[in-house]
Amino acid sequence: MEAARAVPSSSPAVPDRELLARAGRSPEAFAELYRRHYGRIGTYLLRRTGDRAATEDLLAEVFLAALRGVRRFRWRGIGFDHWLYRVATRAANRWARRRRFAPLDAARDVAAAARRDAADEVTAMLLALPPRLQSVISLHYLEGLPVDEVARVLGVRPGTVKSRLSRARDALRERFGGDA
């Protein structure tokens, strides 16, 4: 399993930092930040959930939280994009926990299985892991964040990220063998 390389976004004319300084008072500045990060956070949530409706709900949750928190945001250790990843990770983890205890719907599951493609299969494998292991696998292998950046997003030490990655890989191999 190889980590994806994060694709550097083209450097925007106005840096996030500058927009953030105005975003508490200027709807235009906040809207620009929203447009800038909507796609990336949506992609992360879609890969985490494999579910379009859930991604839409979680995106709303993340950006409403961003709106409420934007005045309090301070540049301490992580940038705005990583802060959004943190909020999105928490939202996705809560969603994954709720999903585990959702009542079974056999008919829906059969219909979903019939539509499932290779990407859905990997999402299903990841969703079988505890949410904290899903987070590290997704942020590192799918979003392409290096270990130290994953650590900053999650607010843990790099060593903790490495050990969670190792446990996640073992769990995937154990459950899914060569498919993982």
Partner 1 sequence: MTKFEILRSRRWDGGAHQDQLEERLMKEFAKQGLLVIKRGRALLLAAALLALGGLAGAGTVTWFGNVRVEETPLGDGRTHVRVLDGEKEVFDGVLEEDEALFQIEGGDILTVEPADEPEKKK
Q: Select from 14, 7, 40 the least CA-distant residue to 29.
A: 14
Based on CB atoms, which residue is closest to partner 1, 67 or 156?
67
Q: With respect to partner 1, which residue has the nearer C-beta, 40 or 156? A: 40
Which of 36, 82, 93, 121: binder of partner 1 (CB under 8 A)?
121
How far apart are the C-alpha atoms of 178 and 180, rounded to whole Å?
A: 5
- Decide: is 146 part of the binding site for partner 1 (CB under 8 A): no
Asked if 125 and 179 touch (Cβ cutoff 8 Å), the reply is: yes
* 113 near partner 1, judged by CB under 8 A: no
State in angstroms the smallest separation of the CB of 148 from partner 1: 21
Distance CA 88, CA 41 (A): 7
175 binds partner 1 (CB under 8 A): no
Q: Which residues contact 67 (CB under 8 A, 6 or more apart)?
A: 30
Q: Is 118 exposed, middle or buried (0-12, 13-18, 19+ CB in 10 A)?
A: exposed
CB 178 within 8 A of CB 147: no
Q: Site map for partner 1, 61-100, x if CB under 8 A?
A: --xx--xx--xx-x--------------------------
Verify binding: residue 163, partner 1, rule CB under 8 A: no
Among 88, 122, 139, 161, binds partner 1 (CB under 8 A): 122
Can you tell me the distance from the alpha carbon of 53 to that of 50, in angstroms, rounded to the nearest whole number? 9
CB 52 within 8 Å of CB 73 = no
Among 87, 89, 123, 154, binds partner 1 (CB under 8 A): 123
User: In the complex, which residues of this chain contact partner 1 (CB under 8 A)?
Assistant: 1, 4, 24-25, 27, 30-31, 34-35, 38-39, 42-43, 45-47, 55-56, 59-60, 63-64, 67-68, 71-72, 74, 117-119, 121-123, 141-142, 179
